[in-house]
Structure formats: C-alpha cells, structure tokens
C-alpha cells in the first residue's frame, strides 16, 4: 500500500522533454556534412548513443512512442530502409528496460561496455536488414568501422548528456 | 515494434515509402541544416587556413609555374575549340554541351555506412529533376534520386545501387562502373581481352541516357585479373559546391517503370 510512487512524465514539466529534444538534435547533427563523403562512414550513430544514455538514466522520459518517431525521422532523413532505425531504437528501449537492473549504479565503464555490446548486436541486425532490402550483401567493413566510432563516441556523448541532465533536472 | 517490422516488410517487398515523402522530410529539416552548417563551414575554413599558412610560399611558387603552363594550354584549347566549332558547323553535328540546371551546396549527408548519398540545397523550385547528373569541378559525383521543393538527394557513384556506363578513355572499351559502398568503384562487364592499366581514366559513355558522354568518372587504381578497382575522380570526400546538369533524356516514367520492376522482383 505504501509503495513508493515513481514520478510521472508530467511531473518533470518542460525538463521532461529534454531527452527527446536532445536526441532529436543529435539526429540533425548526424546529417551535417562534416567532411561529407568521408563523414558517411565516420559519423557515429549519435541518436543510438543518446537514446541509450537517456533510457539508462531516465527511461520514463523516452517512451516507446518517442523512440518510434525519432526512428521514423532518422529513416527518412538518412534514406535508409523505412523502419530500420525505428526497430533499432525500440529494441534499445526493450533491452535497457530488461537489463538495466544488472548495470544500474555501476561505473561509467560498465555502461560503456554494455552500450558497445548492444551496438554490435544492433549493427549486425541492421546490416542483415539492409542487405536483405538491397538484395545483396553490403560490405561489412564500413559498418564495422561505424560501430567502432559509435562505441567510442558514447563516452563524450554520455558526458555531455550527463551535464545537460544535471543542469536541467 | 510491429509497425517497424511491417514497414521493413514493405521495404523488402519493394513497396516502401514513396520518394516524394522522403524528399519532403528533407525539405523540413533543410532550414535547420543550413543554419547549423554555417559555424561548421567557418571552423573548417579556419582550420584549412591555419594549415595552409605554413606552406604558402611554396604554394605560391608552384601556382606561378602552373599558371604559366595553363596559359599555354588555354591558348591551345581555345584554338582547338574554335576549330572544333567550325567543323561541327560544317558537318552539322549537334552541340553536346550540357548547361547546368543549378549550382548548389551540399547541406547534409545520409545513409551512414548503409548508403552513400548527400543532400543538396536545390530542388524542384530550381528546375531540378529526378535522374539529373551531378558533377563537381573534377568529375561525376552522382545523380539526383529524390527531388523536394528546396532540397534534393544525390546518390553518389560509390553507393552500392549506383551503376554508371563508362568507356576507357585510352581504348574506348565500354563497361559499367559499379559502387560498392566503399571508397573505390568496381569496373564490371568489360569486354574479353580489353587491356586495362593502372592510371587509365574512365569517362561516361552516354549509354542508357543517364549521363552525358565524356565526363570523367574514375581512375583505375588496381587490376587483379578481372577484378578492377577505381578511384572516383569527383572529390567525394570533400564535396562542397556541386553542379546539377540540365540533362534528362531518360523520361521520369522510365525510373518509375524500373521501380515497378524492382517491386515485382
């Protein structure tokens, strides 16, 4: 009867939208021509890193609907098979909600390692999906490179998002 | 989850989101991209300037020499051009020069490791059409695949879906330059016995009507039996301004038919 009530989304006020807005901003950053052609490979999946961070710290503020909408926009903007990023972000939420109990409160290094393993599985899945849609095996090297860049980028993104969280919430 | 799987199933069946929806989505984000790219361009230009200061003297000397050489070439080229024009008029050969439809900037990239495309800041409002070839100052960059009102998406020649009909400049042999989602292109369907050497240039052949003839595409970098790799001549790694050519001899219906066939497959 006296169970502790978890905070509702509305109780955060405007700050409750920060995870969605920050991740949306990351989606736009992913489109910027930072060196154009080369950036196609070198640009990390900022949205995935941001989504994982916010789900690991404030999962309530990034519901399934928000993940799906972010994924749809990303699919449209990146011109990748429709539903691919949507599926990746929803799977990320599903994974975090089920596994958070194992790494919550652990060091940043553990979070980073979990993200790296999760990103590997998601990139593998997206490689299979993309190859199936194109009807040919897409070379795995650029995808492996992007996975590595994304994994390394989690540390600075996590740091920035952490600062933002502490400043706004 | 079900919705995403349903969308992916539609993509697998070839009946994905219409090109126009994606093009309008790009239009929506383009104002934000245009604003955000300004500081990035400024930083990039600043860094390039700093990097260039150290060897400015050497560069100046090299440029002076190059300028002298180019002046001589210019005279020769103008003389040949005049002669060519006279002969064309005498033989009544139609002019092959293709005017640009628009010169515009790259405002975004897309695809990540899965597709090679860029977003440019010109669309149907500037007279762009689907299928128009896109070049930079050095060679072919790709072709327009989605046209929004103010933005368009260009499929780069390095994309796995890109096929450019080419001919070897040295021998005239015809082939297809195929993208591989990597930095290098692959040369395929070359006639048996064709002699290819490292350093050979490939130009568009004009076959299929997708690209005008004689535009530089790539240079051969590696030849191992039938496996020939080429480096694109267009500066795909540092695209800034690109030119969309007003060349669209293949009617849009052909692209739609091709899409329909893809859906059936």
Judged against a pLDDT cut of 60, whether residue B252 lies above it is answered with no
* Bridging pattern class, strands B117-120 and B100-110: antiparallel
Shared domain for B190 and B69, answered yes or no, is no
Helices A64-78 and B19-53: angle between axes, nearest 10 degrees: 70
Domain finish residue from B40, B68, B91? B91
Provide the pLDDT for residue A6.
55
* A2 within a domain of the structure (yes/no): no
Q: Which residues of A touch B16 (CB under 8 A)?
A: 81-82
Gap from B108 CA to chain A (nearest CA, Å)? 5
HSE-CB of A103 using CA atoms within 13 angstroms: 20
Determine the structural domain holding residue A48 and report its residue range: 12-168
Inter-chain touch B113–A33, beta carbons under 8 Å: no
Inter-chain touch A78–B17, beta carbons under 8 Å: no
Around Cβ A136, how many Cβ atoms within 10 Å? 13
- Interface contacts (A, B; CB < 8 Å): 151
* Mean confidence (pLDDT) of chain A: 84
Shared domain for B84 and B190, answered yes or no, is no
Residue predicted with more confidence, B15 or B178: B178
Gap from B118 CA to chain A (nearest CA, Å)? 7
Judged against a pLDDT cut of 70, whether residue B265 lies above it is answered with no
Q: How confident is the model at residue B111 (pLDDT cuts 50, 70, 90)?
A: low
Q: Which residues of B touch A86 (CB under 8 A)?
A: 3-4, 7
Determine the structural domain holding residue B79 and report its residue range: 55-91
Shared domain for B61 and B50, answered yes or no, is no
List, as one string, the DSSP characters of B153-177: EEEETTSTT-EEEEEETTT--EEEE
Helix (H, G, I), strand (E, B) or coil at B169: coil
Query: For B144-176, how does the pLDDT look when each residue is reduced to its tens digit (9 = 90+)?
Result: 998 888 899 999 998 888 999 999 988 888 999
The two tokens of residue B103 are: 């010169």
Rounded to an integer, what distance in angstroms lies between the CA atom of residue B158 and that of residue B202? 15
Judged against a pLDDT cut of 80, whether residue B31 lies above it is answered with yes
Return the residue matching tokens 């095996």: A137
Shared domain for B171 and B207, answered yes or no, is yes
* Bridging pattern class, strands B140-147 and B216-224: unpaired
Domain finish residue from B73, B91, B109? B91
Q: Can you give the CATH number for the domain in which B219 is found?
A: 2.40.10.340
Inter-chain touch B112–A33, beta carbons under 8 Å: no
Q: Which residues of A51-64 are buried (b: 16+ CB within 10 A; e: fewer)?
A: bbbbbbbbeebbee
Asked whether the beta carbons of A30 and A71 are under 8 A apart, the reply is no
Shared domain for B65 and B164, answered yes or no, is no
Q: How confident is the model at residue B251 (pLDDT cuts 50, 70, 90)?
A: low
* Mean confidence (pLDDT) of chain B: 82
Query: For A39-93, how does the pLDDT look when each residue is reduced to its tens digit (9 = 90+)?
Result: 455 788 999 999 999 999 888 888 899 999 999 999 888 888 888 899 999 999 9
Please give the ipTM for the structure prediction.
Answer: 0.78
Closest residue in A to B157 (Cα–Cα)? A37
Provide the pLDDT for residue B233.
85
* A2 Cβ under 8 Å from any chain B Cβ: no
* A4 within a domain of the structure (yes/no): no
Q: Which residues of A touch B4 (CB under 8 A)?
A: 68, 71, 83-84, 86-87, 90
Helix (H, G, I), strand (E, B) or coil at A137: coil
Out of A40, A129, A130, the one facing B116 most closely (by C-beta) is A40
Shared domain for B131 and B155, answered yes or no, is yes
- Put residue A50 in one of left, alpha, beta given phi > 0 → left and psi -120 to 50 → alpha: alpha
Query: For A95-105, how does the pLDDT look when each residue is reduced to its tens digit (9 = 90+)?
Result: 999 988 888 88
Out of B5, B180, B238, the one facing A83 most closely (by C-beta) is B5
Inter-chain touch A41–B22, beta carbons under 8 Å: no
* A79 within a domain of the structure (yes/no): yes
Domain tally, chain B = 2
Closest residue in A to B159 (Cα–Cα)? A138
Provide the pLDDT for residue B176.
93
Shared domain for B79 and B111, answered yes or no, is no
Judged against a pLDDT cut of 70, whether residue A7 lies above it is answered with no
* A74 within a domain of the structure (yes/no): yes
* A65 within a domain of the structure (yes/no): yes
Helix (H, G, I), strand (E, B) or coil at B45: helix
Judged against a pLDDT cut of 50, whether residue A115 lies above it is answered with yes
Shared domain for B84 and B192, answered yes or no, is no
Judged against a pLDDT cut of 50, whether residue B263 lies above it is answered with no
Shared domain for B87 and B32, answered yes or no, is no
Q: Which residues of A72-83 are buried (b: 16+ CB within 10 A; e: fewer)?
A: bbbbbbbbbbbb
Shared domain for B127 and B159, answered yes or no, is yes
Query: For A74-85, how does the pLDDT look when each residue is reduced to its tens digit (9 = 90+)?
Result: 988 888 888 889
Inter-chain touch A79–B118, beta carbons under 8 Å: no
Domain tally, chain A = 1
Provide the pLDDT for residue B249.
60
Judged against a pLDDT cut of 50, whether residue B264 lies above it is answered with no
Judged against a pLDDT cut of 60, whether residue B231 lies above it is answered with yes
Question: What is the DSSP-derived secondary structure letter of residue B208?
Answer: G
List, as one string, the DSSP characters of A26-84: HHHHTTS-SSGGGHHHHS--HHHHHHHHHHHHHGGGS-HHHHHHHHHHHHHHHTPPTTH
* A128 Cβ under 8 Å from any chain B Cβ: no
Inter-chain touch B40–A28, beta carbons under 8 Å: no
Query: For B36-79, how does the pLDDT look when each residue is reduced to its tens digit (9 = 90+)?
Result: 878 877 877 777 777 777 677 788 888 888 888 898 898 888 88
List, as one string, the DSSP characters of A71-109: HHHHHHHHTPPTTHHHHHHHHHHHHHHHHHHHHTTS-HH
Q: Which residues of A touch B7 (CB under 8 A)?
A: 82-83, 86
Residue predicted with more confidence, B85 or B142: B142
Shared domain for B33 and B109, answered yes or no, is yes
Shared domain for B86 and B103, answered yes or no, is no
Closest residue in A to B10 (Cα–Cα)? A82
Closest residue in A to B32 (Cα–Cα)? A28
Q: Which residues of B touch A131 (CB under 8 A)?
A: none
Inter-chain touch A135–B10, beta carbons under 8 Å: no
Provide the pLDDT for residue A12.
67
Q: Which residues of A touch B265 (CB under 8 A)?
A: 135
Inter-chain touch A28–B110, beta carbons under 8 Å: no
Q: Which residues of B touch A32 (CB under 8 A)?
A: 33, 36-37, 40, 108-109
Inter-chain touch B11–A133, beta carbons under 8 Å: yes
Q: Which residues of A touch B239 (CB under 8 A)?
A: 33, 36-37
Sign of the four-CA dihedral B259, B261, B262, B263? positive
Element containing residue B256 per DSSP (H, E): helix B252-264
Q: Which residues of A touch B120 (CB under 8 A)?
A: none
Domain finish residue from B45, B65, B91? B91
Lowest-confidence range among A102-106, A165-169, B42-46, B186-190? B42-46
Helix (H, G, I), strand (E, B) or coil at B213: coil
């Amino acid at each position: 009867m006296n169970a502790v009530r978890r905070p509702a989304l509305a109780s955060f006020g405007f700050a409750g939208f920060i995870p969605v807005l920050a991740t949306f901003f990351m989606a736009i950053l992913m489109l910027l021509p930072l060196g154009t052609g080369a950036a196609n490979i070198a640009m990390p999946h900022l949205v995935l890193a941001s989504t994982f961070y916010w789900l690991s710290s404030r999962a309530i503020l990034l519901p399934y609907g928000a993940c799906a909408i972010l994924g749809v926009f990303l699919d449209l903007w990146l011109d990748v098979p429709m539903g691919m990023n949507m599926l990746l972000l929803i799977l990320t939420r599903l994974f975090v909600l089920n596994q958070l109990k194992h790494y919550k409160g652990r060091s940043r290094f553990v979070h980073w390692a979990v993200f790296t393993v999760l990103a590997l599985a998601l990139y593998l899945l997206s490689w299979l999906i993309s190859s199936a849609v194109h009807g040919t095996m897409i070379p795995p090297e650029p995808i492996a490179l992007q996975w590595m860049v994304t994994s390394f980028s989690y540390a600075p993104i996590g740091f920035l998002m952490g600062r933002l969280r502490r400043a706004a919430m | 989850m079900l919705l995403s799987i349903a969308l992916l199933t539609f993509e697998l069946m070839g009946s994905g989101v219409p090109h126009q929806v994606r093009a309008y989505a790009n239009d929506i984000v383009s104002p934000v991209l245009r604003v955000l790219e300004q500081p990035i361009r400024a930083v990039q230009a600043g860094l390039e300037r700093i990097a260039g200061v150290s060897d400015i003297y050497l560069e100046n000397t090299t440029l002076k020499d190059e300028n002298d050489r180019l002046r001589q070439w210019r005279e020769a080229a103008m003389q040949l051009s005049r002669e060519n024009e006279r002969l064309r008029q005498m033989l009544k050969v139609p002019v092959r020069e293709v005017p640009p439809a628009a010169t515009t900037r790259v405002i975004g990239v897309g695809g990540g490791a899965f597709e090679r495309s860029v977003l440019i800041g010109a669309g149907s409002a500037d007279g762009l059409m689907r299928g128009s070839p896109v070049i930079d100052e050095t060679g072919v960059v790709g072709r327009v695949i989605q046209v929004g009102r103010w933005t368009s998406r260009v499929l780069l020649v390095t994309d796995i879906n890109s096929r450019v009909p080419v001919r070897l400049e040295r021998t005239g042999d015809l082939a297809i330059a195929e993208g591989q989602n990597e930095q290098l292109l692959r040369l395929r369907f070359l006639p048996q016995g064709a002699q290819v050497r490292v350093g050979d240039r490939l130009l568009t052949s004009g076959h299929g009507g997708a690209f005008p003839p004689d535009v530089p595409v790539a240079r051969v970098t590696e030849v191992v039996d039938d496996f020939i790799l080429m480096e694109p001549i267009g500066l795909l790694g540092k695209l800034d301004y690109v030119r969309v050519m007003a060349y669209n001899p293949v009617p849009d219906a052909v692209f739609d038919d091709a899409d329909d066939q893809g859906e059936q497959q």
